[in-house]
Amino acid sequence: MIWKIFLPLLSFAFIPKATTILQKTVDNDGSGIYTIEQEVQFPSAQEPLVLKETWIIENDNKMRLSVRGTHELKDKLHWVFLYENGNRYLLQGGVKSVKRIDDDFIEKYFHFRKPETFANALVRMKVAPASLFAKKPLTHLGHEPDVQSDPYLRLARVGGGIAYAFGLPAEKVPGQQQEPLPPAFFIEQDQFVLRKFRLPSQVEVSADRYSVFARGLNFPRTRVVKWIGHDRSVDQVTLQTIHVQPRFEKTLSLNLEDSTRPESTDLGAARPLVMEFYQRFR
C-alpha cells in the first residue's frame, strides 16, 4: 500500500533534462527532405470541403506548399506558398507578396531538426524561461544532473497517455484567470513525439496515430487544429496524412508558381473558415 501511494511522487520526480527531451524529440523529425501529402477537411453543413496539400519540407525554416481543390474544385483552386528565412511568399496575378511568419505557423513545430531551435521557440513564446535549457551545476561526479525539477516542466496526461509538459499549468499563472490559458507543449513520454500544443494565441493542435517513415521521421496520421473564430465560436479543421516520401536532393529548390485568386473560387459556406486557416496557419 505504501509503495502504491508513492508511485505518483516517483513518477513526477524523475523527469529528464529539458534539453534531453527536446533532443530526443527532434531526433524523431527525420533527416533530409520529404514530400508529405495530406487532406485538409473543413466542416460544412453538407459534407466537409476537402483541399489537398502537398508539402516539400527540408526543415522548419524551408518548405514549399501546394494546395489544390478536390472534386468540383479540382481544376479551379491552386495555391503555392514558399517558406524561407522566416518569410512566406505568394504569387498571385503576377504580384509577389511577402508575409512574416509568426508563431501561428503550425507546421514548423513538427519539423525542428535542432533542439536549440525548438528551445528558442519555447522561450520566445514564454512557454518556458531560458534558464530551463541552460547548463546545470555539475554534480560531485563532474557531470550535469540527468534529471531536473522545474515548475515549467512536469508530467501531464494527454489523450490517455503520459507526456512531458512544457509550460505552467493554468492554476499556476500568477494573477491569471482560467482564460486565456498559458501556452504549453506536450511531448509523449515514451515515444518523444509532439502530442499537443497550445500557442499564445490560444490555438490548439493535437496530433495522433504517429507512424514511422524513412530516415527516422515520426509523423502523425491525424491532426486537429482548434481556434477561436471571429464570431467567438470554436473553429476546427482536421488534417489527414495520406502519403510521406523521402526525397534525395540535398537542398530544396524553391520555385514559386502563380496562384489562383481566392475570390475566383467558389468555396461556398466554408469560405470564411478556409480563408482564415490559410491566412493564419499557412
Q: What is the pLDDT of residues 121-139, one digit of tens each?
A: 999 999 999 999 998 765 5
Pull the grid cell for residue 218. 515520426
Distance of CA 168 to the CA centre of its chain: 19
The stretch 45-55 carries a mean pLDDT of: 92
Pull the grid cell for residue 40. 485538409
Fold of 13-139+146-280: outer membrane lipoprotein receptor (LolB), chain A (2.50.20)
pTM confidence score: 0.88
DSSP string, 154-170: EEEEETTEEEEEES--G
Pull the grid cell for residue 96. 509577389
- DSSP element (H, E) containing 13: helix 2-13
The domains of the chain are located at 13-139+146-280
188-201 b/e (C-beta count within 10 Å ≥ 16 → b): bbeebbbbbbbbbe
How does pLDDT run across 82-94, given as a tens digit for each residue? 999 999 999 998 9
215 C-beta neighbours (distance < 10 Å), count: 10
Asked if residue 240 has pLDDT above 90, the reply is: yes
| Torsion sign, CA atoms 247, 73, 208, 116 | positive
Asked if residue 3 has pLDDT above 50, the reply is: no
Encoded amino acid at 71, one letter: H
